[in-house]
């Protein structure tokens, strides 16, 4: 059985700078002091210790050793930084054949003379058809025109050439002449068609655009094997003896199939083997048509993608972890979107290969019953899969992309909502090793030592663990199962996108209705339902047994018909919803008329002491509520206060909740000795200022700051650009960079004059500020100033910076006491030859040198 400490938040520790042993050990101790039992070692943007090198493993070894000494757990993370699969990009450098390709659809109409001239891009041609279609794009008649596609280089470049072909002619200009050549081959079709005909073609094209430039082909088992070799096997070589103890497992993050509309070399063969029919010359059905045949192809295509993804990635990675004593945890991407789930992201299929089910919620927003309804779905799907798999902990990566004033009030609000969905273990995103430069803007604030209230994190950790433990070590009481109709979305996406979106909204509405009416439910998918055991009017999915199946909208299903024939009740949203209200033997009513009971979210569960209700007040109103029970517990109703870890008897079932607060009511089989619950006489204040006035500028919580320089007057080649927040030049004056996804290397034949660059340019940033005292130091970060700049305070060059911890391990400090003036001061930074990446990446601070400054 898991212990309460196993439910303490386990943060992503962002290893995002040059790693140093003493600093690593210091930060591990800081986590331990705040009640953190476990953390994930997460390589992140800004990492300067080469990932996967001997030095990297030496630093990881230092962390593991310190964690072991303190009785903590150090979880591995399988990528730098995410999504999982490229091994930091090494997979592509060593094996370019593992770069993912995705399907691209081309449709070409003939001109008025019946001629088609179409560029089909630079991918591999899979099919080319001349087609006659109906108004919905369904093919009525077709013929293969694959062999009518050829190669064209259509971009001409001309230059004056010096004939440097032969020895002794190098560098001579005895015979200058013009040369012209074409570059950049692509697929081209030139064809005459009869009236009413057009071209459908599909290619498989390399997918670019990620931080690694490419995406791995995770439908290719060889690609994944190499990822495991570079990642998991290396960790085993260095730390295998610690697996299953101080290293309990490894996190995989947002792993994807590859490109959207994924394709791999063996796809057509695997499709035919699995589906018993070919997809050749039918790839276009993914993008066009609403016929039964087109829908059949789409459903079969996406099902094949799902199977190949599991067999190539999740199953072998999970098998490796099990064989080596590690738990695999983590998540895919787009859990809350049924359309995104078509691309290999069926939660029920994936979570069978994950030891600790999970998803992510990286936003301050939560659904309120009207807006953001989609956000409820991901957590509910994951917790349902966990119940059916018999897992206790349900993980959520959370709190990311939040402003600097997002504190414990926001953390509790989001946590209470997540727990109402069935989550019980938090992975805060994140704890930053360093805030140097742009690192502080990596997906929201740090909840680590950079945060002003970090010294109280242990209180939040204990609170989260107490609630999580109560929920995780209890089991669901619902008998209602909602079918997640993935085959419907697979059969519609992409060609019938609008209809797919309409049905997606019905699924969201169904989910919201059940939540609003406190109807307990779980989801299952069609594959799990097809394997359900039916007995005595009930059906069992994995380790959960249900009495009723609910369909979120009408659709045809052999599995559903089979269950109905075996006397399983099947209900439909919305027409059968009245019969579900108060079916669970309890109801929640508002008794003060101020808060809406429909805005409560509830989980009804059982444990060794009886039953429990977790109730979250998802509204900005205080409320007093009554719990009505069809069958009162023999031992009574008790309110559990996770803040104080104490009970009070709530005999009449009346309780109060502050806005976005939560409570557990235990319905015990036996009496418990404790004081009577008293309604609070004062209202708990909650302002959630981060939602009204989000702070996106970091100012350290230190008493010695006398000036924080945020805004600068900027000159570029003597031209004033006005006053701006600290920035790089490129954000104001533009870029010389070409998008590598759109541009080819410039050919040798191209001698056209280049557009002159505006860089380098003489540039200055000037800040003016007032001081009351002159005994000051100038504090920045090692990457605050980019490029080669000169800094002057009141016209005099400042002394050299030296490294010194103030609020970050990579602070730099200059003693400017001799340059400061009482009253008006001016700090000027000048670049004689500034490039577009020169400028400032963070604020600069003047601090009182006489104060104790270190944080």
171 pLDDT higher than 80: no
Torsion over CA of 730, 736, 742 and 745, rounded to 10 degrees?
A: -150
User: How many Cβ atoms sit within 10 Å of the Cβ of residue 772?
Assistant: 9
Q: Give dist(CA 803, CA 806) in Å, integer.
A: 9
- Separation of CA 373 from chain center: 18
Q: Is 712 helix (H, G, I), strand (E, B) or coil?
A: strand
Q: What CATH number was assigned to the domain covering residues 4-96+207-476?
A: 3.20.20.80
Average pLDDT over residues 575-587: 93
- Separation of CA 246 from chain center: 26
Fold of 586-689: Immunoglobulin-like (2.60.40)
Where do the H-state alpha helices sit in 725-781?
Answer: 730-733
User: Is residue 646 packed enough to be buried (19+ CB in 10 Å), middle (13-18) or exposed (0-12)?
Assistant: exposed
* pLDDT of 369: 78
* pLDDT of 625: 98
* pLDDT of 593: 83
| 8 A C-beta contact, residue 432 and residue 17 | no
> Judging by DSSP bridges, how do beta strands 12-15 and 38-43 pair with one another?
parallel
* pLDDT of 167: 72
* pLDDT of 174: 62
Cα-based distances in Å from 274 to 6, 19, 73, 102, 269 = 42, 48, 42, 20, 9
Quick: pLDDT tens for 192-237: 999 999 999 999 999 888 899 999 999 999 999 999 999 999 999 9
436 pLDDT higher than 70: yes
* Tokens encoding 455: 């010294």
Segments of 311-455 assigned E as strands: 327-331, 358-361, 395-398, 425-432
Average pLDDT over residues 478-490: 98
What global pTM score does this model have?
A: 0.96
Average pLDDT over residues 316-335: 96
Q: Give dist(CA 4, CA 472) in Å, integer.
A: 10
740 pLDDT higher than 60: no
Exposure b/e, 210-226, CB count within 10 A at least 16 = b: eebebbbbbbbbebbeb
- Separation of CA 761 from chain center: 39
> Sheet of 358-361: strands edge to edge?
327-331, 249-253, 73-77, 38-43, 12-15, 425-432, 395-398, 358-361
Average pLDDT over residues 707-729: 97
Q: What CATH number was assigned to the domain covering residues 705-848?
A: 2.60.120
Q: State in Å, rounded, how far the first CA of the chain is from the last one.
A: 39
Quick: pLDDT tens for 610-635: 999 999 999 999 999 999 999 999 99
In the block, which residue shows the tokens 């205080």? Answer: 622
Q: Which of 415, 340, 348, 421 is nearest to 386 (CA)?
A: 348
* pLDDT of 660: 96
Q: Give dist(CA 567, CA 562) in Å, integer.
A: 9
* pLDDT of 91: 98
532 pLDDT higher than 70: yes
Per-residue pLDDT band at 240 (split at 50, 70, 90)? very high
* Tokens encoding 793: 């305070």
* Tokens encoding 477: 């009481």
Instruction: Please check whether the two domains, 586-689 and 705-848, share a CATH topology.
Output: no
Quick: pLDDT tens for 651-686: 999 999 999 999 999 999 999 999 999 999 887 777
Show me where the domains of the chain are located: 4-96+207-476, 101-206, 480-575, 586-689, 705-848
Cα-based distances in Å from 523 to 318, 507, 550, 617 = 24, 11, 9, 23
| Residues in the chain, overall count | 855
* pLDDT of 165: 64
Cα-based distances in Å from 362 to 418, 429, 444, 471 = 12, 8, 9, 22
Per-residue pLDDT band at 753 (split at 50, 70, 90)? confident
* Tokens encoding 770: 């007032």
Q: Give dist(CA 744, CA 154) in Å, integer.
A: 13
| 8 A C-beta contact, residue 160 and residue 178 | yes
Q: Residues of the chain with pLDDT > 90: what percent?
A: 90
* Tokens encoding 39: 């953390």
* pLDDT of 775: 96
* pLDDT of 360: 96
741 pLDDT higher than 50: no
Quick: pLDDT tens for 267-300: 999 999 999 999 999 999 999 999 999 999 999 9
Q: Residues of the chain with pLDDT > 70: what percent?
A: 97
* pLDDT of 737: 78
Which position has the higher pLDDT, 453 or 168?
453
Quote the mean pLDDT of the chain.
95
∠ CA 751-756-761, nearest 5°, is 150
| 8 A C-beta contact, residue 539 and residue 549 | yes
162 pLDDT higher than 90: no
161 pLDDT higher than 80: no
């Amino acid at each position: 059985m898991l212990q309460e400490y196993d439910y303490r938040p386990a943060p992503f520790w962002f290893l995002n700078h040059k790693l140093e042993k003493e600093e690593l050990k210091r930060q591990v101790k800081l986590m331990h002091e705040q009640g953190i039992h476990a953390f994930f070692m997460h390589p992140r943007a800004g990492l300067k210790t080469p990932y996967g090198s001997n030095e990297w493993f030496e630093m990881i070894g230092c962390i593991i050793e310190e964690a072991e000494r303190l009785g903590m757990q150090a979880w591995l993370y399988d990528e730098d930084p995410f999504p999982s699969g490229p091994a930091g990009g090494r997979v592509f450098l060593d094996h370019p054949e593992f770069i993912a390709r995705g399907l691209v659809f081309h449709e070409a109409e003939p001109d008025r003379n019946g001629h088609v001239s179409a560029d089909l891009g630079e991918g591999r041609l899979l099919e080319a058809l001349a087609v006659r279609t109906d108004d919905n794009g369904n093919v009525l008649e077709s013929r293969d025109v694959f062999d009518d596609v050829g190669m064209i280089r259509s971009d001409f470049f001309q230059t004056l050439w010096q004939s440097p072909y032969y020895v002794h002619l190098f560098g001579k200009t005895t015979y200058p002449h013009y040369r012209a050549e074409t570059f950049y081959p692509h697929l081209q079709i030139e064809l005459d068609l009869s009236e009413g005909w057009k071209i459908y073609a599909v290619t498989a094209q390399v997918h670019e655009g990620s931080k690694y430039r490419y995406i791995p082909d995770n439908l290719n088992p060889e690609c994944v094997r190499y990822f495991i070799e570079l990642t998991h096997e290396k960790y085993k070589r260095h730390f295998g003896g610690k697996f299953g103890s101080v290293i309990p497992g490894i996190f995989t993050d947002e792993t994807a199939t590859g490109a959207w509309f994924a394709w791999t070399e063996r796809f057509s063969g695997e499709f035919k083997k699995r589906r018993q029919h070919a997809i050749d010359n039918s790839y276009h059905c993914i993008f066009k048509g609403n016929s039964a045949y087109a829908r059949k192809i789409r459903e079969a295509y996406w099902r094949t993608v799902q199977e190949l993804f599991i067999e190539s990635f999740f199953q072998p990675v999970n098998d490796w972890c099990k064989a080596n004593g590690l738990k695999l945890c983590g998540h895919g991407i787009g859990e809350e979107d049924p359309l995104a789930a078509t691309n290999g992201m069926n939660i029920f299929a994936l979570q069978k290969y994950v030891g600790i089910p999970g998803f992510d919620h990286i936003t301050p927003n939560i659904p309120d019953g009207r807006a953001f309804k989609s956000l409820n779905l991901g957590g509910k799907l994951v917790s349902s899969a966990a119940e059916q798999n018999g897992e206790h902990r349900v993980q959520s990566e959370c709190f990311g992309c939040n402003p600097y004033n997002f504190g414990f009030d926001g953390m509790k609000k989001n946590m209470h909502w997540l727990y109402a969905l069935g989550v019980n273990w938090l992975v805060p995103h994140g704890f930053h090793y360093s805030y140097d430069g742009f690192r502080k803007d990596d997906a929201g604030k740090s909840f680590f030592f950079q945060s002003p209230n970090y010294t109280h994190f242990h209180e939040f950790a204990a609170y989260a663990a107490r609630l999580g433990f109560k929920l995780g070590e209890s089991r669901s009481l619902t008998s209602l199962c909602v079918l997640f109709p993935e085959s419907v979305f697979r059969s519609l996406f992409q060609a019938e996108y609008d209809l797919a979106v309409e049905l997606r909204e019905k699924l969201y509405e169904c989910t919201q209705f059940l939540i609003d009416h406190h109807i307990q439910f779980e989801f299952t998918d069609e594959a799990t339902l097809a394997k359900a055991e039916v007995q005595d009017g009930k059906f069992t999915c994995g380790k959960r047994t249900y009495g009723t199946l609910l369909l979120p909208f009408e659709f045809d299903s052999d599995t559903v018909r089979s269950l109905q024939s075996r006397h399983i009740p099947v209900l439909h949203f919305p027409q059968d919803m009245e019969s579900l209200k108060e079916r669970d033997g309890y109801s929640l009513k508002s008794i003060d008329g101020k808060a809406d009971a429909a805005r409560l979210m509830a989980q009804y569960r059982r444990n060794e002491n009886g039953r429990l209700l977790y109730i979250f007040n998802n509204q900005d109103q205080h409320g007093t509520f009554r719990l009505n029970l069809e069958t009162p517990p023999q031992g009574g109703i008790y309110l559990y206060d996770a803040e104080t870890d104490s009970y009070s008897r709530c005999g009449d079932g009346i309780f109060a909740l502050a806005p976005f607060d939560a409570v557990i009511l235990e319905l015990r089989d036996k009496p418990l000795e404790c004081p009577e619950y008293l309604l609070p006489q004062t209202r708990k204040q909650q302002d959630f200022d981060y939602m009204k006035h989000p702070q996106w500028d970091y100012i350290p919580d230190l008493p010695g700051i006398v000036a924080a320089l945020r805004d600068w007057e900027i000159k570029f080649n003597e031209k004033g650009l006005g006053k701006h927040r600290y920035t790089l030049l490129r954000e104001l004056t533009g870029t010389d960079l070409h998008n590598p996804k759109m541009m080819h290397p410039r050919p040798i034949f191209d001698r056209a004059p280049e557009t002159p660059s505006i860089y380098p340019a003489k540039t200055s940033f000037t800040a003016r500020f007032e001081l009351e005292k002159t005994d000051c130091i100038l504090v920045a970060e090692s990457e605050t100033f980019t490029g080669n700049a000169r800094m002057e305070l009141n016209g005099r060059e400042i002394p050299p910076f030296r490294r010194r911890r103030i609020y970050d391990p990579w602070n730099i400090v200059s003693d400017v006491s001799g340059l400061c003036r009482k009253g008006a001061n001016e700090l000027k930074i000048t670049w004689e030859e500034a490039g577009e990446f020169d400028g400032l990446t963070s604020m600069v601070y003047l601090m009182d040198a006489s104060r104790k400054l270190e944080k």
